[in-house]
Amino acid sequence: MTVVDLRSDTVTRPTAAMREAMAHAELGDDVFGDDPTVIALQQRLAALLGKAAALFVPSGTQSNLCAMMAHCQRGDEVLVGQLAHTYRYEGGGAAVLGSIQPQPLPQQADGTLALADIEAAIKPDDPHFARTRLLCLENTWNGHVLPLDYLAQATALARKHGLGTHLDGARLFNAAVATAGPGGDALDAARRITAGFDTVSVCLSKGLGAPIGSVLCGSGELIARAHRVRKMLGGGMRQVGLLAAAGLHALDHHVARLADDHARASKLAAGLAGLPGLRVRSVNTNIVFVDVDGELGPALLAHLKAQGVLATGLIGLRFVTHLDVDDAGIDRAIAAVRSFFDSDNAANPVTQPSGPY
C-alpha cells in the first residue's frame, strides 16, 4: 500500500528531472564564493524579488535567524506574531543566539498583526526598554495569504518608525500563486508581496519540492551581515551547487503547478465538510486545518495511519498537499476519513497515541 503523506509539503522526494539537474550541476566551493550554481540561484531569486543580493542557507530556520541577526544587535527587539514560526517553532534562536528580545503580538485569524498593535508595541527611546528594531511577518501563515494592501500598510508603518522589515516567506510562492489567481503572473505577485520588505526568506524545500535549502534575499549590506552570521552558525557549505541546482530546477518547473496543490486542498476540504464532529477551516492555499470535537483527534489520526494516510495534529488535524500527492491520493484521504465515521470508531474512540506528530 502506498502511503498518502499529507503531514507536510516538506516530505516531497526530488523528481527524476530534479535529480538529473543535480547530477549535472557545475560545482565550486561556496565558502570561497565560487560555486557557480549557488551564485546563479542567489542571483536568480534576488532578481526575481527585486532585491540586490541573496544568500543560500540550509534551512528556513537558519535563514530567519540570519535575517534577524543581520537586522538587530544585542538588546534589540523584534515585533512578531504570537503564533509565527520565527517566534514559536525555531527554538527561541533569536533570543538564545542573537540576544534579540521577541515582542509577540496577537495573531489575527487571517495571519495579520493589527496595525494598532504594531504601533502600540513600538517602544520609546528610553533605557527602560529594549530598542524596537524589526517587524517580522509571515506569508503564507498557516496557509493563509496576507492581503497586498495590508503588507504595504504594515511595512510603511514600520518604516515610518525606523524599523527594519523581514518576511518569513517559507511558502512565498504559494502566496504568490494564490494572489495572482488563475492565469495571473505568479512571479510578478511574488515581487509585489515582497516589495516593502528589507529581507525575505523563501524555502525551496516545501511546496517547491527541493530536498534542502532556503534563500534569504535583501540589500547588499544586510546580506553581507547575514553571510557572517551564516558562517558563525555553521551554515557555510562547500560543493553545495548540488542542492542549489535542485532549487533552480524548482523555480523553473514547480511554481505554476502550486495551483494544483491548492485545488487539491480545496477538493479535500470539500470532501471533509459536513462530517459530524469536524469543522473544516477556510482554505487559501495548500494547507487544510480541521478542528475535531473532543477526543476524536488521536483516534482519527490512528485510523488514517492504518489506512496509509498520514496527517498531523493533536486537537485539530492538518493536511498539506504537495508535489507527491495526486488526485487519487486526495480521494483516498477523503475515503479514509469518511470510513472512520462509517464505522463505530467515532462513537467509541480508541485513543491510541499515534505520535510523534
Ligand X SMILES: *Cc1c(COP(=O)(O)O)cnc(C)c1O
Among 30, 35, 168, 198, the residue binding ligand X under the rule CB under 6 A is 168
Distance of closest approach, residue 335 Cβ to ligand X, in angstroms: 28
Nearest-5° Cα angle at 188, 184 to 194? 130
Contact between 210 and 204 under an 8 Å Cβ cutoff? The reply is: yes
CB of 86 to ligand X, least distance (A): 7
Cell triple for 288: 487544510
Q: Tell me phi and psi for residue 81, to 5 degrees.
A: -65, 145
Among 14, 60, 111, 349, binds ligand X (CB under 6 A): 60
Residue 300 CA to residue 149 CA, distance in Å, equals: 39
C-alpha Rg value of the chain to the nearest Å: 21
Residues that contact ligand X, how many (by CB under 6 A): 11
User: Binder to ligand X among 158, 203, 245, 323 (CB under 6 A)?
Assistant: 203
Q: Which stretch binds ligand X (CB under 6 A): 60-68, 216-224, 298-306, 332-340?
A: 60-68
- Contact map string, positions 244 to 263, toward ligand X, x by CB under 6 A: --------------------
Question: For residues 89 and 295, which CB has a smaller minimum distance to ligand X in the complex?
Answer: 89
Site string for ligand X, 125-144 (x = CB under 6 A): -------------x------
In the complex, the smallest distance separating the C-beta of residue 216 from ligand X, rounded to whole angstroms, is 12
Alpha helices in 50-184 (DSSP H): 60-71, 85-88, 93-98, 115-121, 148-160, 172-180
Select 59 or 239, whichever has its Cβ closest to ligand X: 59
Q: Name the residue among 19, 52, 58 with its Cα closest to residue 38.
A: 58
Q: How far is the CB of 303 from ligand X (least distance, A)?
A: 27
Burial class from Cβ neighbours inside 10 Å (0-12, 13-18, 19+) for residue 149 reads exposed
Site residues, ligand X (CB under 6 A): 59-61, 64, 85, 138, 168, 170, 203, 205, 214
